[in-house]
Structure 1
């Protein structure tokens, strides 16, 4: 159920705009249904061609900048026409539950992606697209589902239905119920029905049940009506409007000339309010012009007090007796929900008019640098990815930017290029289609008449989206947002600091902390590997850049990997180590980047390897280590994609364009990849040969004979332990000689590590719950051998 009066309010505005604006923009929906109905033939000999033709008029309903359901389903139909035909037959089988049909279509799309996706990251066949197919086929029964849209509709109409992220089945069923109720209500609005029918043409589906009209009303509520409501809420009530300080323009002019009332600080506040348009919050003023929020808040209150003292005005008082001093100068309102919780001031008309008549040229608009503080400039540099990209530039590399374009014309806002000085800071932004802040830079040398020179200081591991910035009211007067045409835009110190804070929230700076040293000796003391083997291991990794530590369970592969990284770095710096574990469902989207569903569509998210590569690129003089556990459990081609080439030593630093964001990307030369794989797991297929060629493989063997382990063993001083380890060594020799096993199945030393005191109970548990269960797997077809070794190992305790 929903509140009928709320829908009535919506329809008043909807009908006012229907003919003049809405119909011209939305008519294509009714035409899309008519076209589909005229062309759909599930038994067509060429199913793919028929499907493509039937969906030809859907336009942005099934295709947008980041969502391509039509292209993918038609592509699948070309590769597997009968499979896709069967999917639509099942989807259109009205004898089955609607959500079960939608879910089955989605699941089958996942299967098709694996078979025929040609490396595509996703199939785009989700509830929105599948409900569109249902609506096209049965326009008198179904609607187009969009989570964000229906959630807004339910909220605006004060509906009882709830929509929660991830509750797909409940959401679909509640959506159909809600829209059915809206559809019934629309039929009762004779004025709307007549208005709608008067606009129909022969190219439109007649929509007798008004289901498509219901879709359009829902779209209107989400796109237009709810925005108007938010805007109206933000501008409705201006506090202080019912209070009149009684000052004319002439009165304000006299006060403005009185230096005891309007001090320099007060005039700075007034000049900045006027420059901002006369309506601003303290936060907006602080970001744009400098100073703290309290400077504007307390400064305005102090000014208002001085005005009252000078004129004898009685200030505005609340019911509780407290004084609202600011109402002398301003009216005010609570900010809207998109205004970051600020309180907005507006200059009183008389004061604003008086300020227009006084000369404020000697008053500083922007806060000057403090004495002793270097007066840097701050800039927003726009990169067009079709021409150049910040990702093409290494950290520390100097890049030249011409002051004139290829036609010899001056760059827009030419003065900015002349004003930029060495040491000025730069926010590096990639324009469409990327639309993200991706780097921080610095002007390295001012212009020489032809070029301006800058260097890249840092690449962002988590870029900042344009939409995030545009939603910040503190940045609404930024030069780039006023007119984005151009390359170099000025930032105020406050704007730069505000953006920089956003960057640091997502890209924390490396913390300088005391880090313990770690040497080869430390490694050998802990890992129990011979010195010669260790030196071979380091040499192989430095030479190849990529290595896989393979061996049986218990040889300490994971334990060794992190300490190998420490020993090569010379210190225990975990900030330069990243650890992941592969599994069957791990994907390129997790590893590198991909579009992930969010409330109102999809959003490009960067994966762990992409971010780690950016961190390594930001510190080219240090070594970074990416550790992958269970590397052979993942689908290598699915996870690595184009990285299969880029991780090779000879291709380190080589740029390749990524399909998702169109940016250049390379794997830094200072990054090492360490993988681990368990050779004793019979359930796993051999590792992908394409990946095998790019890794060296190092066998991690049991370390019972290493100096480190012998020292550890002697320290425990336990005869039973000594005897048990001798028997395990004998067992390992037999495993090595077994043709069905080999040395990769030996029992590792780590089962016996990590103890300060050795007890017989602990040793018993190792034999009973670790070694014997493993042997039963090894020799499941040789009961005699298994029994013999059980007797030998248990005999140690007799």
Structure 2
């Protein structure tokens, strides 16, 4: 059915026809209306049916096209399409809460379960401020109103004492119910006071987050009013625009909330079934057709595991928790030096260029995980000793003047500390004509201070490190160790035992890199059966380490997720090399349709699913194609900014043309794909008109 032939004049004539003849009962719209400039409203599908009759002479019928197609044509022609459900506006000031919905009463805010927010903003005179959404934060949810209040009054909330924050009123469902109070800095602190998943997290860029109770659209009105009373100016107010939910929306909300706690129990504390799979298997690769949301799923799982089942949105993790996740994308030129370790250019003090050994992204990540793993195995007493030592070392290097404060070895050799970093101490030895510069290991000095032992001579250090002969650096290590002890405070530090955390490394497009070149000897170490010291290996550059005998291993708390498109096998032997070390899980094109919830418009989502399914059925009918060539829901997320036609011409058509290039009847196959998707080529005259517009 061609409705693209309709132009604006046809629609105006159709509206005139409807004004004179009315709309048959069977053609009234239940969800959307076309709104004219003077406020008159018409059912979009019936308008298109009449306009088509005027344009082509076809019968007035709405049977062979849907609402989405009708709305799309009308919006392209410049007409306004709006939801038919009535909108309500609520004004929240310090003194009152007034809604255009006469049924609203502040004494029964549980009624908020039945409403959906459409728009939320803050007003101060003529100034209007909306929410600064964080990346991946959904628009206009039940949490947007309190988050906007936190955004407006963040500094004032931060300035509150801990006691004031815990006593801050948040919600009261009716005059006889308890007042729910408390703004907390972590989810764990929140759950100590109210063990529920009904909460919001407001993430801050430079400090603790705000965690507070939140459920329905009205549940934080009290919090917002209290912010206005304490921090606002006289003209400040928040405006909430909302509508009633339909039956499907209501049902979905209750299904979600009733299933959350059950899911957490069923899936070993996690929301996502793949999370337990990863924890059990250590290594997983998600494979399948392009656009199935494999990368998005990987971040969901990482968030789920790290938050212990409380979150699935990565942006809701704290800055500290985000350090437990790392993301990298493989490509053909990626190699061992990028991933594990390698020599990198460095500018020397004298201006010349040199090279130094630097850790790659995976090794740095594993070091963080290993530090946590090893600390979690230590007693509180040992941790207190290590922290005290670290503070003493930091204090020492903060207070000395690099390059000018002189130190002496036991034999009286003078030297200066010229620079320090996390791994090295750089010294200058003016009196030594042969070697006047030396690089010491920060780790060696740290171990000496942490040991708590009283070393008196160089041989004590040699014995401590298990060496038969002293190295040149031990004399200078000893001198620095003694200097640190002189400044070290005797005050004992009280610390908590370290909690064992999970660390998740995500490798996107894992099959696009040359695996053997990237992993090297780590092929052995990543095997789930060889985690820990049983799988320790010497890396390729071990002879350049400060301690060449030190081994590298991947601890038990590291988990690896890989993603790959089955149709992009850049390395032929990939499956054979990795099959034993990874669990391969197929994600099919229709497995992640929940991603389309971000489209919000239910009819748009349903139309996207219908078109995707029809196109994928046609793809597998082609002899040389299969399920691996189907398109996933991720492509249809572009409908937030593109029309269905634009999605086809700009994204799907080029992809499918690559699939079928060189096949017999290539043009015929693409024509069948186009018809299955529902795209119709514009006629020549219509195309010229579009170009002019």
Do they superpose with TM above 0.5?
A: no
Which structure has greater helix proportion?
Answer: 1
Higher relative contact order (CA 8 A, sep 6+): 2
Query: Larger Cα Rg: Structure 1 or Structure 2?
Result: 1
What is the TM-score normalised by the length of structure 2? 0.36
